[in-house]
Amino acid sequence: MSGAAVEIDPATLDEPGAFRRLVTEPCRPVVLRGAVRDWPLARIAATGGAALGEYLARFDAGRRIEAFVGDAAIAGRYHYTDDLSGFNFRRESMPLSEAVERLVTGRNEAETLYVGSLPIPLVLPGLAEENILPFAPTNVPPRIWMGHASTIACHYDMMDNIACVVAGQRRFTLYPPNAIGDLYVGPIDHTMAGQPVALAAEAAPDDPRYPRFERARDRAITVELSAGDALYMPKLWWHRVEASGSLNILVNYWWDAFPVGPDQPFAPLLLAMSAIAARPEAERAAWRAWFDHYVFRPDGHPLAHLPEERHGVLGMSAENIGILRAQAMRMLRGG
C-alpha cells in the first residue's frame, strides 16, 4: 500500500467556512487528529466496559436493532460466502441494551458481534447533544457503530462522511473513485449492507481472478486512527475498514456537502445504466460525448460562448433545475 492522507488540525476549522474550504472542497480524504478526544463518550469508553454500558443506558430508547453475528472462524471478517450466494454471518434482531451488554462485558470466544449505522437520535436520544462535532452540519443526525474486532469489506458511500473513532483503533484503506474499474466490484443488488463491495480488495495478493487490482493497490491510501481521531471521506471514495480493538465504537455523519437540487447523483446513474449501458458501443460513445459536454464539462460551461442571459435552463438557478426535473419526469412518464 502507498500514499498518505492530508492531515489538518481541527483547531484551525473554527473560522466560518474553513471546513468547506479546507476539507470538503478539495474532495480528498482528510485526517482530523484528536477531533473528538474530549467527547464524554470517548472519555468514558476509555475507562472500561462497565462505565460505558452505564453511560449508554442513560440514553437507551429501548428499541430493537439488527446485529451481524459471526462464528469465531470468520475472525470478524464480514463478507460473502465463497460462491457469493450468501453471507458468512447471520443477522439477529435484539434490544440495543443486549447488544451493548454483549460488547462491553467481553468478547464471547464463540462469536463476533457488529452493530452498524444506528441513527443516534432514534436509538440513543440525547447522546448527540452531549457529544458535538462543531464543524459537522447541524442538521445531520449522527450514527453509531459498535463491535468486536472486525473487518468491513471495501465499499463506498454515496454521501460525504466524517467518521469519528470513539473507542478502539481503526485502519482505513482508501481507493480513489476512478479506481473502480480495477477493484472488481460485486453485485449492486445483492449486498451485505446496501452498497456493493470491491471483491479484489479482500483477496490475497496476486489473485489470478483480479489481475487489474495491482494498479489500484499501488494507489491506496492507508490511514491509522486511534480513539479521538476522525477522518473525512468524500463521497465515492472506496474504503476498507479494520477495527482492531476488543471493543470498537465509531460515530459518523453522512451528508451531501455540495447539494445542487433535490436529486442525488446516484439516481441518474441508475437511470443511465438502464437506458444506455446495453446499447451498441458506437452509440454509447456518442452518449458519452453528450454527457461530457453537458454534465462533466471538461471544456467549461456548454454555453460559455453566449452571454449568461442566453443560457436558458442551463443557468442552473433553482427555478431552472425545477424545469429540467419536470421535463425529465414527463419523459419518464411517457408524456
The whole-number average pLDDT for the span 294-316 is 93
Dump pLDDT digits (tens) for 132-176.
999 999 899 999 999 998 898 899 999 999 999 999 999 999 999
> Using an 8 Å Cβ cutoff, are 291 and 265 in contact?
no
Considering only CA atoms, which of 156, 306, 310, 181 is closest in space to residue 234? 156
In the predicted model, is pLDDT for residue 296 greater than 90?
yes
pTM, two decimal places: 0.91
Dump pLDDT digits (tens) for 256-282.
999 988 888 999 999 999 999 999 999
**Strand arrangement of the beta sheet that strand 238-243 belongs to:** 77-78, 150-155, 238-243, 170-175, 221-225
Dump pLDDT digits (tens) for 41-71.
999 999 877 899 999 999 999 999 999 998 8
Q: How many CB atoms lie within 10 A of CB 101?
A: 15
Considering only CA atoms, which of 50, 74, 94, 80 is closest in space to residue 247? 50
Helices within the chain (DSSP H only): 18-19, 40-45, 49-57, 96-104, 120-123, 127-130, 213-217, 266-276, 281-291, 318-332
3-class SS of residue 225: strand
Dump pLDDT digits (tens) for 305-314.
999 999 999 9
Is the alpha carbon torsion for 125, 127, 132, 133 positive or negative?
negative
Dump pLDDT digits (tens) for 321-334.
999 999 989 988 88
> Using an 8 Å Cβ cutoff, are 240 and 211 in contact?
no
Give the DSSP per-residue string, 58-126.
TT----EEEEEEEEGGGTTEE-B-TTSSSBSSEEEEEEHHHHHHHHHT---TTEEEEEEEEEHHHHSTT
- Look at 333 and 75; give whichever has higher pLDDT: 333
Considering only CA atoms, which of 39, 200, 64 is closest in space to residue 133? 39
In the predicted model, is pLDDT for residue 27 greater than 50?
yes
What pLDDT was estimated at residue 174?
A: 97
Amino acid at 321: I
Grid cell 473513532 — which residue? 165
